[in-house]
Structure 1
Amino acid sequence: MRAVTISAPGGPAKLTSSRVNLDEPGPDEVLIDVAAAGINRADLLQRTGHYPPPAGAPAWPGLEISGTVRRAGHESSPWRPGDRVVALLEGGGYAEQVVVRGTQVLPAPEGVDLVDAAALPEAACTAWTNLVDTARLRAGEHVLVQGGSGGVGSVAVQLATALGAHVITTAGGPERVARCLGLGAEVAVDHRAEDVVEAVRAATEGRGADVVLDVLGACGLRDNVRALATGGRLVVIGLQQGARGEIDLGALMARRAWVTGTTLRSRSAAEKAALVAAVREHVWPMVAEGRLRPVVHARIPLDEAARAHELLESGVPFGKVLLVP
C-alpha cells in the first residue's frame, strides 16, 4: 500500500511517498481503509528524529485517522466491514490502510463528515485525559487554555466549555481571538498585544486560573505559574517553545499549586483502551449534540505531506490539517 515514510531525520522534504507492507490484523486488531489522517506536532518531532515510534508501531507517522473497517482479526470483534470509524494510533496513520487494536477504535461521531472526523481522536483523548483525569477540572472553575487556535487547543476550549468551566484562551491576532470566542471561550487574549497573566487576573477578579493547559513548555513556565490560583494545576502537554525552563518554587509554594507533564503516545494498551472508552461515553455525546466539533483548517493530499508539514510549522492553521489518501 501507499504510505508517507521518513527517508532520514530532517525537514519536510524528508517525507517520501513509498510502497510499504502492512501486517494482517491480529485477533484483537482491526484493518481500516483510511479516509483521512490528522497531523499533529508529534509527527513533526518524529520527522526530525526527536520522537521515535514505540516498539512495534509502524515506522511512518500518523497518530489518528478516520475511515471504514475492511475487516476484523476475529469474528468476536464488535467491528464489522463497512463500519465508519475513527482510531487512536501509536503511528502509521499516513497511509491508505492501518491496523489498530480494536479497543482504540471508536464509531465515527454522529453528524460529522468522515474526513473531518480524523481531526478528533488525538485531540479529544488529549483534552479529556489532561483536563479531566489529570487536572480534575470541575464545573465553575477557570481554565486557561494556551493556544486555543491549535488542533488540541480548539477541542480543549470546546470541551472545557461543555464541562461548565469558565474558559480563557490565547491566540495570535484579532481574527484568531474572535474565532476562539466562537468556540465558547469567555475570554480570548491576543498574546501578541496583551499581557496574558494580567488578562487572567482581570477575568478571575484577581484569583488566577484553577487549571492551565499548556503547549508552550519552557518559555511559558514562568507566566503559567504566575497565572495560577491558589491550589491551581498546571498541565504541560507541549514543548513548542522549549523543553528546559526555570521555575520559581517560591511562587509555586505560595499558591500551593502543582505542575505536571503528560504524553499520550507512550501509554499502555490498557490505559489507551480506558481513555478511548471514556471519550466515547462522555465526549461523543457532546459532538452529537453540537457542543463540540472538529476544527479543520485544510485537507491536503497524502502525497503532499511535506506541504502539510510546512503549513503546520508556519503557525497559520486554525485547528487541524488533514491528509487525505
Structure 2
Amino acid sequence: DRMREVLHACMTAHAEEMSKNNGASFIPKTSDGLYTAVGWVMLARSLRFPALSQQWEKSAVEAFQSILKAVVDKDTFTLLEQSPAIHHRVVSFLYQVSKLHIGEEEEVAELAHNMYRVEPFLSYTDRTLAEVGGEGFYNGLHLFSQISPKIPRGVKPAVTSHRVFRRAGYFAVKGPTTFLLLTSGMGSKRRKHLDDLSFVLEMKGERVISEVGAVCDGEQRGIEMDDPASASTSPSLPAWMGGKTGVTPSASISSRSSEVGEWTSLNGIAVKRRGSASGRLLLESIDEVEKGE
C-alpha cells in the first residue's frame, strides 16, 4: 500500500509537469522526446490505477503531439536535424501505434500522412534506408541523389523528380538508376568531422563508401583534407569513377580551398559546397532544380 501511495504521488507530480506547455518544457524537442512520451503512454496503460493512468496518458499524448509539431518542418514534412532513418522510424511508429490514439488529433494525423508521403525521397527504390553515420548531428542529415552510372562526362543526368528541403538540409533527387548519397554535417564551434565531402554510392546493390576525412573548424568555416588512403575501399569501381580495382572514390575528390563555396569534383561530376559549415552539396548539373522548391 505504501508503494502504491508513492507511485501515485510520483505519477501525479509527473503528469502535472508534463501538462505545462503540453510537455514542451519537460521533454527535449527531439526524436528522443517522442520516444520518451510514447514510453510514458505505454507505461500508463500497463498500470492498475485507471483514473490516474488516464490523466498521465493524456499528458503524455499531448507532449508527444507538441514535440512532433516542433521537430517536423511544416513546409517539407521532414524531421529537423535528424536522419531519414529516424524519419522512417517515427512514421512507422505513428502508424503502428494508432491504437494508442496518439495521432488522432487532426493536425498530427495530417503531419503523419505528409511525413509518409516524403519518405520515397529519403530512401532507395526498394524502400530501404542508408545504414551509415550516426543519428545525431554528425553524419545525421542525409541527402539522396540518383544519377545514372553510364552518363558521359559533361552530360547532365536526367532528373525525374526532386525536392529541396532547405531548412532540414535535405536535397533529394530521383533519377534513372543509381543513388548518390551526400551527407551533410551540422557544423560546430568545436573541431569535428564535417561530412560535406563524404560520399556513399549504391550501384546495383553494391555500396561504395568514401570517408575523405574532411574536418571543419566551426570558427573559420574551413575544410582540411586528411589522407584519402584511409577511406573505405570498394573491390571494384565503375568506369565513370575510375574503374580500377582498389581505387577509393575519395582519390577522385579534390579540395582546392578552405573557402566556403569552392568547387570539388568526383571524376568530372561537379559538386558545390553551399553556405556555412552546415551547408549542403549540390550536383552542379542539377543545381537549377533549386528553383522548383
TM bin, normalised by shorter chain, reads: under 0.3
Q: Which of 1 and 2 has higher RCO (CA within 8 Å, sep 6+)? A: 1
Give the strand-richer structure, 1 or 2: 1
Rg larger for: 2
Give the helix-richer structure, 1 or 2: 2
TM-score (norm 2): 0.24
